[in-house]
């Protein structure tokens, strides 16, 4: 695999930032950089966007499918999945963040941006959770995540999580949201969103809660900064106020989505 040195250094925050990293941190950063195709697309400066046909031609070149959850595959060629730390008996949202979603930089930075921008608490919580279902599945992750969180969060938060996925495909100059180049790389420059995404967009345009998922797309933050202090601590009060943590633990509460949490807790179960 060819690694463009300038791309790697740029994603690490420049030459000075790299000089401050010890060798273990450099190894981790390199592993992160190479860890999956999504990251490669995020950091790409290639001016050429593939066509839908070219994107499809790559499918049989991989040993995994692009929609697979992050917990379930080591995407770098030859890499192995890691032994996961055990979960506590009654796991909380914090345990899932620390032990299964980590490093979760993207969602933590998105929530931090939403907080900095003065968003309502329901939206900050949506930003914090919006992509966490990618541990389970990347395909249709907004819909999976909304289902996974519906029993535990305000209705508007679940709505925002669910529909951020559809709205991300549609620019909205009124909110300063432009169609991301990332999508041209991942889906192809001539990609047309699927019928359910288009139908949801048409529904959302007339919906009184349109702004909720739109604000998630606006605060979606793509950055890899090893110096950034990303922690869940600034969001503990919001989580405490709006997240209904089941006392039995997520996965043990017999809710309609408990199996999703159990699968994330134990992704090494063979059946």
Q: Which is nearer to Fe ion, 200 or 220 (CB)?
A: 220
Q: How far is the CB of 108 from Fe ion (least distance, A)?
A: 11
**Contacts to Fe ion by CB under 5 A:** 131, 220
Q: How far is the CB of 164 from Fe ion (least distance, A)?
A: 6
Cα separation, 232 vs 41, whole angstroms: 26
Q: How far is the CB of 130 from Fe ion (least distance, A)?
A: 6
Q: Which is nearer to Fe ion, 223 or 231 (CB)?
A: 223
Cα separation, 60 vs 165, whole angstroms: 26
Q: Which is nearer to Fe ion, 122 or 131 (CB)?
A: 131
Which helix (H) or strand (E) element contains residue 229? none
- Helix ranges restricted to H, 168-246: 181-187, 195-205, 211-218, 236-242
- Residue 66: which residues within 8 A CB-CB, separation 6 or more? 37, 59, 138, 139, 186
Q: How far is the CB of 45 from Fe ion (least distance, A)?
A: 20
Which helix (H) or strand (E) element contains residue 10? helix 5-11
Q: How far is the CB of 127 from Fe ion (least distance, A)?
A: 8
Q: Coil, strand or helix: which one is 237?
A: helix
Q: Which is nearer to Fe ion, 131 or 200 (CB)?
A: 131
For the chain, how long is the longest CA-to-CA vector? 53
Q: Which is nearer to Fe ion, 100 or 138 (CB)?
A: 138
Q: How far is the CB of 262 from Fe ion (least distance, A)?
A: 23
DSSP 86: P
225-253 as b/e, with b when 16 or more CB fall inside 10 Å? Answer: ebeeebebeebeebbeebbebbeebbbbb
Cα separation, 140 vs 159, whole angstroms: 14
Q: Which is nearer to Fe ion, 106 or 156 (CB)?
A: 106
């Amino acid at each position: 695999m060819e690694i463009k040195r300038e791309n790697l250094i740029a994603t690490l925050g420049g030459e000075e930032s790299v000089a401050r990293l010890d060798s273990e941190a450099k190894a981790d950063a390199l592993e992160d950089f190479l860890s999956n195709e999504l990251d490669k697309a995020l950091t790409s400066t290639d001016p050429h966007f593939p066509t839908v046909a070219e994107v499809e031609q790559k499918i049989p070149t991989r040993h995994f499918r692009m929609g697979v959850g992050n917990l379930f595959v080591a995407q770098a060629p030859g890499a192995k999945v890691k032994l996961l730390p055990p979960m506590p008996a009654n796991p909380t949202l914090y345990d899932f963040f620390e032990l299964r979603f980590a490093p979760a930089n993207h969602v933590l930075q998105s929530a931090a941006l939403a907080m900095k921008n003065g968003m309502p608490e329901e939206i900050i919580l949506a930003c914090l959770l919006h992509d966490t279902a990618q541990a389970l599945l990347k395909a249709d992750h907004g819909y999976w995540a909304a289902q996974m969180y519906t029993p535990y969060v305000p209705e508007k938060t679940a709505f925002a999580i669910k529909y951020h996925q559809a709205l991300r495909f549609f620019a909205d100059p009124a909110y300063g949201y432009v169609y991301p180049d990332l999508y041209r790389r991942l889906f192809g420059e001539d990609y047309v969103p699927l019928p359910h995404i288009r139908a949801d967009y048409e529904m959302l345009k007339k919906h009184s809660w349109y702004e909720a998922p739109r604000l998630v797309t606006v605060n979606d933050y793509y950055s890899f900064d090893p110096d950034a202090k990303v922690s869940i601590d600034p969001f503990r009060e919001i989580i405490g106020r709006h997240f209904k943590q089941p006392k039995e633990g997520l996965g043990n509460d017999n809710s309609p989505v408990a199996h999703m949490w159990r699968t994330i807790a134990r992704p090494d179960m063979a059946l």
